[in-house]
Amino acid sequence: MAQLTGKTAVVTGATSGIGLAAARRLADEGATVFIAGRRKPKLDAAAIHVGPNAIPVQTDVSDLDDLDRLYTAVRQHGKGIDVLFANAGGGEFATLEQVTEQHFDRTFGINVRGTLFTVQKSVPLLNEGASIILTSSTAASTGGAAFGVYAASKAAIRSFARTWATELKDRGVRVNAISPGPVDTPGLTGLAPTADQAGALKDFLAGTVPLGRMGRPDEIAAAVLFLASSQSSFVTGSELMVDGGQNQV
Ligand code: NAD
């Protein structure tokens, strides 16, 4: 039986990888899903993939006017927000000595600032009992070679989840972070400059996971559905690791 019939969800970074899989899963469970992504052609393709329950809104989460436009569209829909998956994010390799101001500003601009204002601007529209899910990463605790700025930005996300769970508890709103281990997505393989190097990166990352492989976007989407639904009604301020055991080593 569908778990989210009649509910309204918002998913950012919904045109690719984890966000796309989650948007599809939430829509398959009966939710109307506002899918937010930066590029129109990818957004149109994502809307087809997610299906008739998708409402695409072109949104760059680092642009506050775009976020206002997204939530204006949600307000006009007239049903509030039951699920917010603030997932847009990404990173680039750079060692401590390679990091530039631009690299830092880009990474924190999307992952930290983008997540903060995505959630802040949703607050007036949140329904009683809404669930907010933020995308952190196992990198927040494991660090990662040449991935320090990204890892730090994702540590901020865990911290946000704990703080906002407290701040929003009186409205019955739950806030949790999900921390994927390495997941086979265009965002991750795109970190490698060539297809051969992408293959080597995937082999390396699979070797860091006790289950011996990378995760699939649909496996993260299943965890998002758990946190989005009433199945997780007593879970808030927590971090759900979906990482093949990577955080255990
Ligand atoms: P992806 O590149 O396939 O998808 C990321 C999506 O976010 C894309 O649709 C991209 O266009 C969008 N996005 C990026 N910047 C944006 C912005 N400013 N405004 C709106 N949309 C924006 O990558 P993914 O692997 O699916 O990543 C999804 C999330 O999961 C990210 O937050 C990422 O950091 C996190 N994550 C990924 C992994 C992994 O191994 N793939 C592991 C841990 C955490």
% of the chain exceeding 90 in pLDDT: 92
Q: Give per-residue pLDDT as tens, 162-216.
A: 999 999 999 999 999 999 999 999 999 888 889 889 999 999 999 999 999 999 9
Which residue's CA is minimally distant from atom 19 of ligand 1?
Answer: 60
pLDDT band at 249 (very low <50, low <70, confident <90, very high): low
Task: Give 193: exposed, middle or buried? Use CB within 10 Å, 0-12, 13-18, 19+.
Answer: exposed
Give the total residue count for the chain.
249
% of the chain exceeding 70 in pLDDT: 100
Q: Calculate how far, in angstroms, residue 17's C-alpha sits from the geometric centre of ligand 1.
A: 7
Contact 17, 186 (CB under 8 A): yes
Q: Give per-residue pLDDT as tens, 19-52.
A: 999 999 999 999 999 999 999 999 999 999 999 9
Nearest CA among 63, 69, 64, 65 for reference residue 55: 69
Q: Calculate how far, in angstroms, residue 99's C-alpha sits from the geometric centre of ligand 1.
A: 20
What residues act catalytically? 150
For residue 234, how far is the Cα from the chain centroid?
Answer: 21
Q: Calculate how far, in angstroms, residue 170's C-alpha sits from the geometric centre of ligand 1.
A: 31
Q: How far is CA 103 from CA 153, 189, 190, 238, in A?
A: 12, 19, 16, 29
Residue 180 CA, closest ligand 1 atom number: 43
pTM reported for the whole predicted model: 0.98
Note the ipTM here.
0.98
Q: What is the largest CA-CA distance in the chain?
A: 53
Task: Give 126: exposed, middle or buried? Use CB within 10 Å, 0-12, 13-18, 19+.
Answer: buried
Complete domains list, the chain, with CATH: 8-180+216-241 (3.40.50.720), 184-214 (no CATH)
Nearest CA among 91, 14, 21 for reference residue 59: 14
Pocket of ligand 1 from Cβ distances under 6 Å: 12-13, 15-19, 37-38, 59-62, 87-90, 110, 114, 135, 137, 180, 182-183, 185-188
- For residue 185, the surrounding DSSP H or E stretch is none
